[in-house]
Amino acid sequence: MLISTLLSASPALADRCSGDYFFAPNVPGRMKAAVNPNNMAKNYYKLGKKESATYDAGLQKLLDIIIRQPYLNPPVGAELKGTLRSWDIQGCDAPCLGQPVHGLGTLYFMEMLRASKGWVGPTIETSNTLDIEINNLETASGTRLFPDNLTDSQGRQFLVPLQPDGAVDGISVYKDRGKGLARLVFSRGNRPWSVPLSRREYVLAQIRRMEQQIAAMPAATNSPAADSLRKWRQEQPRRRAESEQLYRQMKKQNPSLAETIRDGHRKMETEMERMYQQEAEKESARGGAPEGLQTMLGRRLAEHRRVLAAMPDAEQAAQAVYLANDDPYGVDLVPPGQSSYGQPLVVINPAYFDKSLPRSAMQIITVQSGFLFFDDQLPEDSCLLVNPGSILLRKTLRETPWHQFMKLLAP
């Protein structure tokens, strides 16, 4: 009823959003969401058969809370498919021992479409997705600000914590509007999922990355153009020998083509020699090359080392708050005592997990989707208002008894 009402109220919007097809909001789709009892828990985590079965049973209970609701049986206007399974942990090589079993899956609300010639079926791909993760502290703690090669001394990613913004079924919604994400987090006890990243750890991580980058670079030079000319001339005998060999081979097959190729090689040699010579002369006239990347990184590295050496102990221990520095060599941190702006940084807190519990126990669960699916007020021209898959996902987010997830967590 909800789907029919919204679509009939916006026929022009539905036509625009459905592309080359028509939405089929009243056609029931199939339920194809399931738990995949794979061998990850047994082979990767080295759990026993009984404990592996216990974990998979927990995944099924979790999934059932979502998919056993009346409005999804069947899912009218969409096909609901997806898989929930145990999964590996980044940075934990097999066999991964001593870690709670990580689980994940995605539910796809595939909108039903109708072609002009009568075909009806689900779309091939969709952005109507609901992501579920179990025992992943990073997903609960925030979103990554930096690439994978910038971590603290324990290998933990730098994260920007999400901010609470509303609630569904009494569960807080955490949003990152910059990345278009919103999450529900279900946790046990009062232990924090994350801890602040210190300013010292931030600066040390930047120093480590710059040292690695410089070490991977070729030796610095202030005359790269002259070096290129010198290398070109040094390799000239090899190029001429290869050209002559090709000429002799082609001469036997096609004499005319052989002459053409040799003339082309000679012209290229002359032109490249002239180009390299001109660049070397320009460089010499300037008094050398401009500051290269290696030199710039060296200056930035030296500045970070200087800042860290001069940083008082209390400041080193304070939380790092990221803010891009106008000085290309400066440290990208908010000055001490000015944390009213910038992005506070955190890292995961491994102490959150209770080591006395079985590794199959669910200790933290996150549910994620695009933040617009959580919003009650959407623009009048939003396709989420007329796409039957989007409507069903929005209904799922609002009407699932999310508080029941708390019963799945270890006591």
Consecutive 10-residue runs of the chain (411 residues): their mean pLDDT? 45 74 92 89 88 93 96 95 92 88 96 88 93 95 82 92 91 86 92 95 94 76 72 87 85 81 87 86 68 71 94 95 90 83 92 94 96 86 89 95 95 85
Question: Which amino acid is present at 15?
Answer: D
pTM, 2 dp:
0.77
Question: Which amino acid is present at 151?
Answer: T
Predicted pLDDT at 2: 44
Return the number of other C-beta atoms located less than 10 Å from residue 229's C-beta. Answer: 21
Predicted pLDDT at 288: 58
Predicted pLDDT at 294: 64
Decide the pairing of beta strands 181-187 and 102-114.
Answer: unpaired
Helix segments in 153-254, DSSP class H: 199-215, 224-234, 236-253
Predicted pLDDT at 8: 44
Predicted pLDDT at 310: 95
Predicted pLDDT at 203: 96
Report DSSP letters for 361-383, one per residue: S--EEEEEEEHHHH-S---TT-G
Place of tokens 């075909």: 119
Q: Is 322 helix (H, G, I), strand (E, B) or coil?
A: strand
Return the number of other C-beta atoms located less than 10 Å from residue 299's C-beta. Answer: 13
Helix segments in 189-345, DSSP class H: 199-215, 224-234, 236-253, 255-286, 293-310, 313-317
Predicted pLDDT at 292: 53
Predicted pLDDT at 43: 86
Q: What distance in Å separates the CA atoms of residue 226 and residue 339, rounded to the nearest whole number?
A: 49
Burial class (CB in 10 A: 0-12, 13-18, 19+), 46: middle
Helix segments in 68-223, DSSP class H: 137-141, 199-215
